[in-house]
Amino acid sequence: MSNQILSDAQIAAFHRDGYILVRSLFDREEADTLRQTAKADAAFKKNAYDLKDGEGGATKLVLWNKVGEDVYGTVARSPRIVDAMEQLLGDEVYHYHSKMSIKEPLTGGAWSWHQDYGYWYMNGCLYPDMASAFIAVDPNTKENGCLQVLKGSHKMGRVEHGKFGDQTGADPERVENALKIMDLVYVEMNPGDVLFFHSNTLHRSDQNKSPYPRWSMICCYNTRHNNPYKASHHPFYEKLDKVSDTALKEMGMKLFSEATEFWNPAVDKTVGAGKK
């Protein structure tokens, strides 16, 4: 049984708004370990691919499916995240994939409005019973392109996604009208803060025009009952073994192993990693 990480009020807020922000879910020592490890890990530079925004900017993304015996796998298997996800989604969850979104100073790209399920639907997931944990590695501010969410937009259901202008995203006509009646929230975060958001929640981000980087790690989860009916570049159900709550502090700065497999759309043209 999952531990009660979230209160009844937080769970109700997630179902009402499509997201909840939990401040300092990872303490300063843990947040420092994640940030220092990520910035020292050559695997991010080696395996990053650019996602251009059509406006002169580009975000770098590094994506992997399997949780390893490293800092990133430890975060993804933390009971603080996994148990919270199971409370929010009402079922056992498994690791669907993780990614590091890297917006470099002054050049980091913007992303148009989209839903993660707008892409994951194409991977054979019948239900939108999926969610992401967005973990601030650097401070996330308006100036460096923090995430923006449209409050309550998950209740719209899946919006049509396609190629609109220079980007792939949600139907702009739907988004335009949703913006008239729903609140747009800039999610400013400190390192160690975690935003849990539903796979149908519309979200976007601006370019990073500041002199400061914006690194964010996103751990994505699917429910066991929503095991995909077909193969894609993301995995089928596999039982997720949680680590101890103190594992991150005990591990220290452990980088990706050389055996880690990363996903790159230049090699695999299957639809939809999702963008932040």
Rg (CA), the chain: 17
Does some domain include residue 275?
no
C-alpha–C-alpha distance, residues 234 and 97, integer Å? 7
Decide if 234 is inside a domain: yes
> Would 276 be classed as within a structural domain?
no
| Residue 268 within any structural domain of the chain | no
H or E segment at 101? strand 93-103
- Does residue 2 form part of some domain? no
Indicate whether 161 belongs to any domain. Answer: yes
Residue 156: pLDDT band (50, 70, 90) is very high
Contact 1, 183 (CB under 8 A): no
C-alpha closest to that of 191 among 220, 221, 217:
217
CA distances from 63 to 175, 181, 218, 275 (A): 27, 34, 9, 11
The CATH number that applies at residue 216 is 2.60.120.620
CA torsion through residues 83, 128, 235, 227, sign: positive
First-to-last C-alpha distance (Å) of the chain:
31
pLDDT, tens digit, 9 for 90 and up, residues 119-148: 999 999 999 999 999 999 999 999 999 999
Extract the tokens encoding 120.
């994951």
What tens digit of pLDDT does each residue of 5-54 get?
999 999 999 999 999 999 999 999 999 999 999 999 999 999 999 888 87
Overall domain count for the chain: 1
> How much of the chain is helix, strand and coil, in % rounded to 5?
30, 25, 45
The structure's pTM equals 0.94
Per the structure, the complete domain to which residue 47 belongs is given by: 8-263
Average pLDDT for the chain: 93
